[in-house]
Amino acid sequence: MAYDASRFKDYFEHEFTYDAGFRRNVGRFGRQVAIVDPAAGREWTYAELDAAVDKVSAVLLELGVKAGDRVAYQLYNGVEFAFLYLATQRIGAVGVPMNFRLAAGETAIILADSTPAVFIFDDAVAVDALAAVKTSGSAAALLTVAGGGNGAGAASGVRTLAEAMAAAPDGPQRRTGQPSSYGETTRLYTSGTTGRPKGVSLPSIVEVMSAHDVIMHFPLTPHDRTLNMTPWFHRGGLYSGGPNPLFYVGGSVVPMRTFDPAAALDWVEKYGITFLVGAPVTAGMLADEQERRPRDLSGLRGIVTMGAPLERAAVLRYQKLLTPRIFNGYGTTEAFWNTFLRPEDLPEHAGTAGRACTDDDVAIVKVFPDRRAEPEELAARDNTEQGEIIMRTPKSGFSYANLPQVNEEKFVHNWLYSGDLGTWDEDGFITIVGRKDDMIISGGENIHPVQVEEVLNSHPGVHDSVVVGLPDGRWGQRVVAYVIPQDAGLTADELERHCLASPELSNFKRPRAYAFVTEVPQTATGKKIHYQLARQAEADAAAGLFQKPAKAAGQGAGSGEGQ
């Protein structure tokens, strides 16, 4: 008899969904804690969480949500976010978590693009949320979540989610269509470091594969409890140490509404947290806080960072102050993380982004001036030749909603072209150099901001920096730096000496002027928004914000520097 794959296909398409996996854990771990909510002072077991999800599902169905409809929610990390993440999948809808920091006009763009049937927002953002509804012309049913805001949601007559849940019927609520592993379950909007946000469509099988990836790589067990310090609306927040992997493995999560490094460290012992997860910027704040007031962090099994490059000096500092078990994941909203740096890779590979995850292929291809490289046109694995990082993975969404032309540009032969630049070595360890869009060309030479920033940030008087190109009539662009100082006495001359003394930085790459600032623009996940400062630099230079070192030489590779 010939092999018949149809039964396997039917099972994987219709039964191998994320919601099915969560419901299995309700049966296994019904009395085990799924969420600890410090703000509310209570816990939810898996059985209680499942009942709450049924309630929210009933609310959505009563509001007319059908299979495939979008349900947008603009919420802080909290139990309501978890309810909606699970409930939308239970009824076959598509969850659209939205950045709560967006301006009304930005929210309106996403509402117009996603056309949700229901929009749920935190009371703290109610004014902008309601303005966005009006601007976008959205016909979505509205609910608000009481999160400590000014009451604008309630004042407008919008019902709270809690009120709707109280009035909803008890008991299981099931989807209105047949479940499919390939059906869209979540739509995440990119953080938009280079333009307007794009909606990344993720199917249920990606929910499952993302959970499996994190469970393998930490690894996670049903006895783990995590605090993800980044917002859950981001892929790194929801999927790495957030609800997605923990609810799939049977562990528990501790939501933090607003990141507070002191509270995060205090909660490690108080709530038995085993993994802290966040961006490198949040890990830096943890280290600063631990240095000020040391805590017992022996219960930690690891601190995981993602969303931005993790510099070598930072890794070594975090190992000393926080835990030897430091991890870093590199990836995108589209494909989650695709390389992973593990504690056993340290200290030798500190400063790299690790190598490809278990189920992923990651490569670096050449960059051509007139065309995109094919996946087989690889950069040399010598840790020197720079190229574009591409990846293919079962965790990828493989498409943007409503943007077919962009799909053709970004997804090629099942590879995602990230737009990030890097190098790799013969063992596959990737070092992030920067973004193609952020590259500075001075005197005909390519200068990547991340390399210069890493040298600047190794100075003890520098808290952080952003390096951009300033238009220059002679060299094309001149390298300048925005610096957040640790020490108010830091000077441009001191940084000039530091860069000149660094064996890791060619002289022509060093900044020719410095602006000392208190903050730099970043996305919600800690990525520096270079293009914003690049646009601003010319006006700042005209206003005299930049300070030049006393003996700064001319910019450009042809200036005779370093010879």
pLDDT in tens, 136-157: 999 999 999 987 666 666 667 8
What pLDDT score was predicted for residue 557? 42
Band (559; pLDDT cuts 50, 70, 90) = very low
Is 14-204 a domain of CATH 3.30.70.2340? no
How does DSSP classify residue 131? H
**Letter for the amino acid at 131?**
A
Q: Which of 164-173, 307-316, 372-381, 419-428 has the lowest mean pLDDT?
A: 307-316
* Of 235-249, 278-292, 396-410, highest mean pLDDT: 235-249
State residue 556's pLDDT score. Answer: 46
Task: Measure CA 233 to chain center.
Answer: 9
Residue showing tokens 């013969």: 426
Place of tokens 């020490």: 487
Does 175 score more than 90 pLDDT? Answer: no
| Helices 126-136/104-114 angle, 10° precision | 50
Residue-wise pLDDT tens digits, 54-80:
999 999 999 999 999 999 999 999 999
Q: Is the pLDDT of residue 553 over 50?
A: no
How far from chain centre, in Å, is Cα 426? 28
Domain range list for the chain: 14-204, 439-559
What's the pLDDT at 193?
45
Q: What pLDDT does residue 151 have?
A: 66
Note the CATH number of domain 439-559.
Answer: 3.30.300.30
pTM (whole model) above 0.85? no
Does the pLDDT value for residue 46 go beyond 80?
yes
Side-chain-side CA neighbours of 482 within 13 Å: the count stands at 24
- Average pLDDT for residues 399-421, to the nearest whole number? 87
Task: State yes or no: pLDDT of 310 exceeds 90.
Answer: no
**Mean pLDDT: which of 37-51, 93-107, 164-178 is highest?**
37-51
pLDDT band at 191 (very low <50, low <70, confident <90, very high): low
Q: Hey, what amino acid is at 117?
A: A
End-to-end CA distance of the chain: 76
Tokens of 251: 């562990």
User: At residue 381, does pLDDT exceed 70?
Assistant: yes
Alpha helices in 67-203 (DSSP H): 79-90, 104-114, 126-136, 152-155, 161-167
